[in-house]
Amino acid sequence: MDGKDRVYVAKGAMSVSVPLHPMYQEYQMVGYQENLNNYKKIITDILNSYKFKLDLNNVYPLIKSKSFKIQKEYICEDLFCDLSVYWVTDFEDVFRFVSTEDMESANIDINTLKIESRNNLNKMTNPLVRLDNSHKIYTLRFDTDYAATLFLSENIQEQIKRKIGNDILFCMPSSMTLLCAKYQKLSYKTYTHILKQLIAIDNDVNKISDKIYRRNKDGKYSIIA
């Protein structure tokens, strides 16, 4: 129940909100049992009226913290360190997490989901640019809900290799923020301090992690701050 006196009934990823005031008025007219049966039928009909069909053309990976709390039936795998990857269908204004039920209904296996979602992500382009002229810390030029997840894309990885190198520091404070810098012993403390400040002022509500990561030249990930 919420502050607007509604009860929410969920089935999988679908939910129905039922206003209590008209429900109570009908209860006064027809009694408890008949009113209960009427609303059970209404709710069941609504929940069963929409059968979601997974569209692989509109599915993307989405990086989240391993501490992110969500229903167990949604598809999720460990990524590295304290991060996980989920899969979502993008409806522009909202994401719908992909569930095991969605996969079974569409007869799609996890490998197909991974390949097609990564292909969709690779179609996105976003230049990696320096934050300022004083330090070689890079971020994405254009705002997007996939900023952190674009770290997984081929295009961003190519830009990182070309502009920063193979040994990098990076952080993903939220879904809309990706920050990268070259790992060097001489600049390590300075860059770590700056990244911590940028993490602290990030105001996106879709938080991922307050950690700073390193990926060394051998491709091994670690948390360094």
pLDDT means over runs of 10, the chain (225 residues): 59 63 78 81 68 87 91 89 95 83 90 97 96 93 96 98 97 97 93 96 94 97 96
Question: What is the three-state SS of 141-183?
Answer: CCCCCCCCHHHHCHHHHHHHHHHCCCCEEEEEEECCEEEEEEC
Q: Is residue 76 part of a domain?
A: yes
Identify whether residues 93 and 38 lie together within a single domain: no
Write out the two tokens for 86.
């989920």
| Residues 159 and 180 occupy one common structural domain | yes
**Judgement on whether residues 25 and 98 belong to the same structural domain of the protein:** no
pLDDT of amino acid 1: 45
Nearest to 137 by CA among 185, 183, 73, 70: 183
Distances (CA, A) of 153 to 61, 98, 157, 188: 10, 20, 6, 26
| 172 in the same domain as 135 | yes
The reply to whether 205 and 170 lie within a common domain is: yes
Containing structural domain, residue 135:
128-223
Number of domains in the chain: 3
Both 31 and 61 in one domain: the answer is: no
